[in-house]
Amino acid sequence: MEQRNYEIAIEISQLEASISGLREEVSKKTNVLENLEKSIAEKDGKMFEMEREMSDKVNLAESEVSRLSQLVCEYDDKLRNLELKMDSQRPLLIDQLNYVSKIHDQIDNVTKVIDANKLEQSELSESLFLPQKTDMEENIRASLAGMESIYELTRIVAEKTRDLVEERSREVKGLNETVSRLVKEKEHIGSLLRSTLSRRMSTNLSSKTNELFRVAENGLREVGIDFTFSNHLGDGKVPASINKTGAPETEEDEIYTLAGALESIIKQSQLEIIELQHSVEELRAETSLLKEHVEAQAKELSHRKQRIEELEEKERVANENVEGLMMDIATAEEEITRWKVAAQEEAAAGKAVEQEFLAQLSALQQELEEAKQAVIDSEKKLTFKEETAAAAMAARDAAEKSLRLADLRASRLRDRVEELTHQLEELDTRENSRRGQNGSRYVCWPWQWLGLSFVGIQQSETQQQSSNEMELSEPFL
């Protein structure tokens, strides 16, 4: 045993010497590897700097492109909002055009009522504006054309209404003058009748009556009433009867007849005056209604003009915004194209430099792999020798432990044998005493089926011996 330990110690010393040599070789390889790693780290640092510069340039280009893209998106959103606003205003504009058409029709009808000669022109003006459901510009132009036509019609209506009002005013003034003249003529005729009746007995009735008739006819003709007393008096029969008879009764009848004729003429004139007054009042009411209608149309026209001006201003602002957005989009696209070209050129240059560094890096990596493989081989050899030395030392330790354990187990087995011998003796004594008293007993439980012994029956000596042999035959560590 001591010889074996001596040989193991010699082998361990040899292994330690070889391990120290391998460690020196590994240290040399490690130094070479560290130098290679330093050079690779320097190349990696240069590569990292170049990649960082390239990434900064690319990030700058990407940020600029993203900013321009965001600007384009904002302009697209603004343009989309403008289109949505225009789409939302399109029904309002169509309704406005419909109302403009209705207003145009109403004013056209008023124009036709006032002046029938404007029929062809109004029909021609109706074809100038028609509402469209798709084109906003066409709708605005149609609305403007309709408002211009309405303005022209309103101007014509205002002129014709002014002329009509002036004409009606002249007619009213003439009728008032006629009424005043008729009143004066009535008073004059009454005075003439009174003077005629007072002087009928002293003057020639026939000549005075004819003179009275002439004066009355002239007065009625001056006020515009063509009336002859001969139609009422029988074409000169009254003067003939006066010349033939000359009686006072005939003269009185003639006077009464003349007075009745004058009274009927005056009543007819009064009726005509009343009718003229009613017509004047109707004309005044109609004129006031026309004035109110014209004022309402003028207000509506001014409101529509203001609305059209607002829509035109909105359209102008929208067109300017769209043009500005299109110019900004074109500028942004040019800027994006320029940045893309610059980024592509820089990327191409960076790729060339990167390929060169990759070639150098691949060569260094190959050298590094070879060095690593050599170091791995050396480490494997060193590990194998260390494992061999450790196995030898472990074998020696195991042998020593086995010897100690064998001694310990032998002492334990001796103690166990003594104890078992003592137990056997006690069991024999007890068994003999039980056999002498009761003999063997049986139980109702199926112990044999369960692989157990009966109660009160001692194990056989063969089983006890086999268990002791199994304990003694345990392997040594």
For 246-281, write each residue's pLDDT tens digit. 444 565 666 667 667 667 776 777 787 788 778 778
Q: In the structure, what pLDDT confidence band is assigned to residue 226 with cuts at 50, 70 and 90? A: low
Q: In the structure, what pLDDT confidence band is assigned to residue 237 with cuts at 50, 70 and 90? A: very low
Sign for the pseudo-dihedral over CA of 240, 246, 251, 253: negative
Mean pLDDT for the stretch of residues 192-204: 59
- State the pLDDT at residue 476: 38
Helix, strand, or coil here: 463?
Answer: helix
pTM of the model: 0.34
* pLDDT at residue 159 greater than cutoff 50: yes
Q: How many helices (H) and strands (E) does the chain have?
A: 8, 0
* pLDDT at residue 442 greater than cutoff 50: no
Q: In the structure, what pLDDT confidence band is assigned to residue 123 with cuts at 50, 70 and 90? A: very low
Output 1 or 282, whichever has higher pLDDT: 282
Burial of 206 (0-12, 13-18, 19+ CB in 10 A): middle
Q: How do residues 27-44 score in pLDDT, each as one tens digit?
A: 777 787 788 778 777 877
SS3 content of the chain, % helix, strand, coil (to 5): 90, 0, 10
Number of CB atoms found within 10 A of residue 9's CB:
13
Q: Are 297 and 107 in contact (CB under 8 A)?
A: yes
Cα separation, 139 vs 127, whole angstroms = 14
- State the pLDDT at residue 209: 56
Sign for the pseudo-dihedral over CA of 361, 362, 366, 369: positive
Cα separation, 468 vs 94, whole angstroms = 117
- State the pLDDT at residue 461: 47
Q: In the structure, what pLDDT confidence band is assigned to residue 131 with cuts at 50, 70 and 90? A: low
Q: Are 185 and 220 in contact (CB under 8 A)?
A: yes
Q: Are 40 and 372 in contact (CB under 8 A)?
A: no
Cα diameter, the chain? 213
Cα separation, 235 vs 221, whole angstroms = 19
| Listed ranges 200-214, 334-348, 388-402, 443-457; the one with the highest mean pLDDT | 334-348
